[in-house]
Structure 1
Amino acid sequence: MKVKALACACLVALQGHASAEEHPLSGDRIEQDPGGISYVVRSTEWSDFDGGTVRVEQRLSPDGSGRLIYRYDEQTEATKLYHQAFCDSMDMVPSLGEGSVDGQGAGWGCSSAATDALGTFGHPPGSADWVTATAPNGRVPVGVSYHSSGQMRMESSVGGRRQATIGVDNGRCSFTDIKHYGAPFRESSAIAVTCIVNDPRFVSTSMDVCTPTLCGSDRGTQFAE
């Protein structure tokens, strides 16, 4: 499905959550699943792909260390549709890895549908392991929630854990996406995080990516105005 079709579907599913009123960066409530396990339902503001915004809910599981964990399979159909639409806007699909949220924000992980295609990255298959990361830059609004996206590309000659973290405002807003591979892999992905800056100033950003064999990082700057 294309992004506009997905956006229409998820906006219908999220009806009643969109509003023109001002909101804090996020709103949380505690719910329980049928087995009695508690989780956090976090509501944050994201683009509606038509010049406006919509409040989107995510089900997040506390990990006991102060972080909240996002898993695609645990989300409502409305949230899954929005995740699909967000990734489709970058010609990607939702990451099926595990997302970790620090602070009051929220985020999404997206992967290229052509991640494993030979020649995707301009490197010959089986060449030396490598990682590239791109942190977000540019102008951002003051006093309203906005999202920032970071990009990554990599190839690893061994399977294992891949971890990527995007940070905004010295990491005050951050989102981490983790995947585990059972064999050598190639990947092209993006992750995004929400944040809010309440006064005009420069805002530091970061993108840090590690594969089983090496890490890559990038630093950027946004100007809130």
Structure 2
Amino acid sequence: MMVKRVAVAFLVSLAMAAQASAAESSSSTDQFVTDANGDTDVIRRSQWSDFNGASVAVDQLLKSDGFGRLIYRYDEQTEATKLYHQAICESVGMTPSSGEGTAGGSASGWACEGESAEGELGHQRAPRSVDWVTTTAPSGQVPVGVTYHSPGQMRMQSSVGGQRRATVGVDNGRCTYTDVKHFSGAFTDSGQVFVACIVHQSRFVNTSMDVCIPRRCGSHRGTQFAR
């Protein structure tokens, strides 16, 4: 019920800006805007599920990090975009990631976090054996000629603080989305990372899910069949 309520609230708030239809556009579109500081930002519009069998156009504000990457931060989004991010995460029992997202090329995506905590390994430094990462790449059947979203899954535990970097990839990395979080101490973390992609002919599609924490990395490869 919560997913439905959030989805409905999102659709109402976005009614003047988004166009829902069963037919998907072939790619995302970018609009360049200038912020109050004179910096150029990108508003990326792409198609995502409306949770009722059709699609809806969703805008994401992406800011340059000065090194050629466009960064998504939840707190910088419009209320409509925040509501959609909440809805897609609630659909898998999670909440929007507090990290920073980066889309590869013209792709778009979302990151969600499940159970996540710092300091659960005690006050003393834990041995390396407690550091572990498990990942699951997207798999299954996907449609041809329409934008679809693919989730990669992850769980991990780290005995020290530092960076957690997670990247989901589709079609040999043609479509990727990366989420980065930082922890000040030992941590456990779990979540899903979604990326939008489109395949124009029936074929097998290689997928990946790669996650690194300070002392461990985990990778998994999968296959989708577009038909």
Superposition TM-score, scaled by structure 1 size: 0.92
Matched, 1:143 2:139: no
Within 1, Cα distance between the matches of 2:109 and 2:200? Answer: 20
Q: 1:223 to 1:118 in 2, by over 3 A?
A: farther
Q: 1:108 to 1:195 in 2, by over 3 A?
A: same
Q: 1:95 to 1:197 in 2, by over 3 A?
A: same
| Counterpart residue type for residue 39 of structure 1 | D
Within 2, Cα distance between the matches of 1:188 and 1:43? Answer: 27
Q: CA RMSD in A?
A: 1.9
Q: CA deviation at 1:193?
A: 0.2
Unaligned stretches of 5+ in structure 2? 121-125
Q: CA deviation at 1:53?
A: 0.8
Secondary structure of 1:205's counterpart equals strand
Q: CA deviation at 1:118?
A: 11
Cα deviation code 1:91-123 (max 9, x no counterpart):
0000010001111110101001x333999xxxx
Secondary structure of 1:85's counterpart equals helix
Which stretches of structure 1, 4 residues or more, deviate above 6 A after TM superposition? none
Q: Could you say which residue in structure 1 is the equivalent of 2:172?
A: 170
Superposition TM-score, scaled by structure 2 size: 0.92
Secondary structure of 2:117's counterpart equals coil
Q: Could you say which residue in structure 1 is the equivalent of 2:70?
A: 68
| Counterpart residue type for residue 187 of structure 2 | F
| Counterpart residue type for residue 219 of structure 2 | S
Q: 1:22 to 1:186 in 2, by over 3 A?
A: closer
Q: Could you say which residue in structure 2 is the equivalent of 1:84?
A: 86
Q: CA deviation at 1:22?
A: 4.2
Within 2, Cα distance between the matches of 1:201 and 1:157? Answer: 42
| Counterpart residue type for residue 190 of structure 1 | Q
| Counterpart residue type for residue 47 of structure 2 | E
Q: Could you say which residue in structure 2 is the equivalent of 1:122?
A: none
Percent of aligned pairs with the same residue? 57
Within 2, Cα distance between the matches of 1:92 and 1:79? Answer: 16
Q: Superposition pairs for residues 25-64 of structure 1, below 5 Å? A: 25-64=27-66
Q: CA deviation at 1:65?
A: 3.5
Within 2, Cα distance between the matches of 1:73 and 1:23? Answer: 27
| Counterpart residue type for residue 88 of structure 2 | F
Matched, 1:19 2:24: no
Q: Could you say which residue in structure 2 is the equivalent of 1:194?
A: 196
Within 1, Cα distance between the matches of 2:190 and 2:37? Answer: 37
Q: Could you say which residue in structure 1 is the equivalent of 2:103?
A: 101
| Counterpart residue type for residue 132 of structure 1 | T
Q: CA deviation at 1:131?
A: 0.4
Q: CA deviation at 1:84?
A: 0.4
Q: CA deviation at 1:23?
A: 1.4
* Contact residue 20 and residue 50 of structure 2 kept, 8 A: no
Within 2, Cα distance between the matches of 1:137 and 1:173? Answer: 14
Secondary structure of 1:197's counterpart equals coil
